[in-house]
Structure 1
Amino acid sequence: MYAVLIFLHSVTRWLVLASLLCAIVNAMRGWLTGRAYTSADDKARHITATIAHIQLAIGFVLYFNSPFVLYFRQHYHEAVKQLPYLFFGMIHIGMMTMAVILITIGSSVAKRCTTDKQKFKTMALWFIIGLIIILISIPWPFSPLAQRPLLSTF
C-alpha cells in the first residue's frame, strides 16, 4: 500500500503544480488586462483548489502509513536530529498543509469578491504564495532537506 500511495502522491504533485501554474497565469492575465471573469476562470479556480485538496488527502493517508513518520514518532529525540526524518515527520506535512490552506482561502475569497479585477488579483496573490511554499516543501532530487525522484514508481 505504501508504494501505491507514494506513486499517487508523486503523480498528483505534477497535477497540483500544473493546475496552480495555469490558474496563476490565467489570473495574472485577467488582472493585468482587466478582462471579465468568466465561468471558465471560476472553473480553473475551483479545479485548482480541488486538486490541492486531493493531494493533501493522499498526503495525510501517506503520512500515517509512512515508515519514515513511524520511525520519527517512535524515536522522536533521535529522529529530529536527522534531516530526512525531520523533513517528512514535521516540515513537509506542516508546510504543505499551510500551502493548501492558503490556496483554499484564496479560492474562497476570490469567489466572493465583487469585481472581476479583485477576483483575479486575489486568486493570483494567494495562489502564488501557496505555490512558493509548495515549491520549497517538495522533496526535489536536488533538495538539501530530503530527496525523492521526480516521479516515484512502484
Structure 2
Amino acid sequence: MFSILLTLHSLFRWLVLISLLMAVFRAYQGWLGNKPFSKPDNSLRIATVTIAHIQLILGISLYCLSPVIRYFLNYFKKAVHERATRFFGMEHVTMMVIAIVLITIGAVKTKKQAASQQKFKTMAIWFTIALVVILTSIPWPFSPFTRRPFFRWF
C-alpha cells in the first residue's frame, strides 16, 4: 500500500504543477490582457483546487504510513537533526499544507469577486504564492534540502 501511495503522490505532483501553472498563466493573461473571466477559466480554477486537494489526501495518507515519518515521530530528538528526515517529518508537510490552504483561499476569494479583472488578479496572486511555496518544498533531484527522483515508480 505504501509503495502505491508513494508512486501516486509522486505522479500526482505533476498534475498539481501543470494545473497550477496553467491557472497562473491564464490568470495573468486575463488580468493583464483585460479579458473576461470565462467558464473555462472557472473550470481551471476548480480543477486546480480539486487536484491539489487530492494530492493533499494522498500526502496525508502517505504521512500516516511512511516508515520515515514513523522514525521521525518515535525518535524526534535525534531525527530532528537529520536533514532528510526533518524535511519530510516537518518541513515538506507544513509547507504543502500551507500551499493547499493558499490555493483554497485564492479559489474561494476568486469565486466571490464580481468583476473579471478582480477574479483574475485574485487568482493570480494567491495561486502564484502557492506555486512558489510548492516549488520550494518539492524534494527535487537538485534540491539542497533532500533529493528524490522526478518520478517514483512501483
Partner of 2:110: 110
CA–CA distance in structure 2, aligned partners of residues 35 and 75 of structure 1: 54
Partner of 2:136: 136
User: How many residue pairs get matched?
Assistant: 154
Unaligned runs of 5+ in 2: none
Partner of 1:88: 88
Shift of 1:114: 1.1
CA–CA distance in structure 2, aligned partners of residues 64 and 83 of structure 1: 20
Name the amino acid aligned to 1:128: T
CA–CA distance in structure 2, aligned partners of residues 37 and 85 of structure 1: 43
CA–CA distance in structure 1, aligned partners of residues 30 and 110 of structure 2: 13
CA–CA distance in structure 2, aligned partners of residues 33 and 145 of structure 1: 38
Identity of aligned residues (%): 49
Moved over 4 A (4+): none
Which TM-score applies when normalising by structure 2?
0.99
Shift of 1:145: 1.1
Superposed CA deviations along residues 100-150 of structure 1, whole A, max 9, x for unmatched, are 000000000000001000000000110000000000000001111111100
Which TM-score applies when normalising by structure 1?
0.99
Superposed CA RMSD in Å reads: 0.5
CA–CA distance in structure 2, aligned partners of residues 35 and 19 of structure 1: 20
CA–CA distance in structure 1, aligned partners of residues 32 and 19 of structure 2: 20
Name the amino acid aligned to 1:81: H
CA–CA distance in structure 1, aligned partners of residues 68 and 145 of structure 2: 14
Unaligned runs of 5+ in 1: none
